[in-house]
Chains A and B, each alone.
Chain A
């Protein structure tokens, strides 16, 4: 799949923002008054910039509000609703912090809504049977794990962040390992795609168009796959190894900042790989 910068940005930034909101919502002693608004503002900035990046992906931004209509069937529509609910609930919680009277249940609801939003984002990809690497329960699990890890780092939760870094790293390593065989396990081959398996061994001889098309640019995007293994190593180092080592070394304040920057860079890279190495079954028709 084409790793559209708008989608890589959106999933990374909004994941971080909603993860941070989840942590802020369940914090046992939330900071009151103006001090409580700082982290909340950061979470909102991340969520909103992520949502803006996703709007950039649309062909007709003027009709974006129509995306709220099909929540009964569409995960994309559910994501829109969950994001809106999170931002409204978080706003109410923020107001209660500002007034010095934290309404704890509002915080818990914010956290639940934030995680639901991330779950919906993951389900948008996991529901696609046409992309076997994504069509798996580990896809939303990984999105949630990344959001919680990034949120914990942003919220300055040292030990939970360390535990989550280890857990998410383990899950990500397994997904990279298992994802490689999912296409073969899906059973889709050129023989099933053309129905010509009974006649012999089919081979894509020539494509239907000599130039590129929306299909080849969007779904049969193979350029980025070449560097997937190098990017995985880099992503693993940046997202997990370096932040975990820094967290273990000491509680110096700027260590937290460096580990956060490193983690975000790593998440960007892993998200790029997530899109770039996902093979769509339509590629079979093009022999790729």
Chain B
């Protein structure tokens, strides 16, 4: 069971647009909220209102700065969750078979009833996508909201991962990445979507769209610009006298 399936019928995943993400953390909060109420056990926190709060999250937003060769540096908000890899290293190392990759849609899941909380899968993941639930003693990870996307009791608009549903900037897209004609695959094709850490050999399903190049000043900025030059370079009148007097002291 802990081997990778030789083939998945579909490969669901996320496409994350680093150009439009504004770092509002709405996806982090909605992910935490959904997975705290829908799962067998809530996504626990330790000392949540105390001096040293910490807890398990399945989606976190980092902030990076990119400094180009020339021009100003750019801030990039960087959401990171499980990438549902084709060659998921977390699945192979699992001693109990709790971690597995689904044949029908390629989602990587943890069967909590089988997890012994050894933590080896979290070590094997290069992306830091898995976090131990310190209250339950089992590993937690992004399920791609498997309990939303097929849930016929939800309105159709809500049958997508909570993070995608809540993103106000439209920076998160959900779909079948194994289908070259799907909206997400076309988006990846058009925008040069990329893998994270391809050298780790994980072949992640989730893709990241790079930030578009920013505008740069070129030539004359504005015909009115010369008229906006400071008019009085040298102070006159009372201010001028004070200036000269102070300079002489």
> A282–B76 contact, CB under 8 A?
no
| Chain A positions within 8 Å of B98 at CB level | 66
Contacting residues of chain A (39-73) with chain B, CB-CB under 8 angstroms: 57-61, 63-64, 66-70, 72-73
Q: Tell whether A255 is near chain B: CB-to-CB under 8 Å.
A: no
Given known A188-B197, A192-B197, A195-B196, contact A282–B74 (CB-CB < 8 A): no
Given known A70-B2, A211-B52, A211-B53, contact A219–B123 (CB-CB < 8 A): yes
Chain A: minimal CB distance from B185 (Å): 18
Q: Tell whether B117 is near chain A: CB-to-CB under 8 Å.
A: yes
Q: How large is the interface on B (under 10, 10 to 19, 20 to 34, 35 or more residues)?
A: 35 or more
Given known A192-B199, A211-B53, A281-B197, contact A59–B117 (CB-CB < 8 A): yes
Given known A211-B54, A282-B126, contact A196–B115 (CB-CB < 8 A): no
> B123–A131 contact, CB under 8 A?
yes
Q: Tell whether B34 is near chain A: CB-to-CB under 8 Å.
A: no
| Chain B positions within 8 Å of A127 at CB level | 92-93, 124
Pick from A192, A201, A215: contact of B131, CB under 8 Å:
A215
> A76–B95 contact, CB under 8 A?
yes
**Interface residues on chain A, number (Cβ under 8 Å):** 58
| Chain A positions within 8 Å of B128 at CB level | 215, 219, 282, 285
> B115–A60 contact, CB under 8 A?
yes
Pick from B56, B57, B95, B124: contact of A67, CB under 8 Å:
B95
A219 to B123, CA, bound (A): 7
Pick from A63, A208, A212, A213: contact of B61, CB under 8 Å:
A208
| Chain B positions within 8 Å of A75 at CB level | 93
| Chain A positions within 8 Å of B68 at CB level | 199-201
Q: Could you mark each residue 66-81 of chain B with 1 if its beta carbon is under 8 Å from any beta carbon of chain A, else 0?
A: 1111000111101010
> B118–A58 contact, CB under 8 A?
yes
> B197–A199 contact, CB under 8 A?
no
A205 to B67, CA, bound (A): 12
| Chain B positions within 8 Å of A130 at CB level | 89, 123-126, 200
> B56–A205 contact, CB under 8 A?
no
| Chain B positions within 8 Å of A208 at CB level | 28, 57, 60-63, 80
| Chain B positions within 8 Å of A76 at CB level | 93, 95, 118, 120
> B119–A194 contact, CB under 8 A?
no
Interface 9-residue window, one of B133-141, B150-158, B162-170: B133-141
Given known A1-B123, A188-B126, contact A74–B74 (CB-CB < 8 A): no
- 4 additional A-B pairs beyond A59-B116, A208-B28, beta carbons within 8 Å, are A60-B116, A192-B198, A193-B126, A285-B62
**Could you tell me which A residues sit within 8 Å of B by CB distance?**
1, 57-61, 63-64, 66-70, 72-77, 80, 124, 127-131, 186-188, 190, 192-196, 198-209, 211-215, 218-219, 280-282, 285
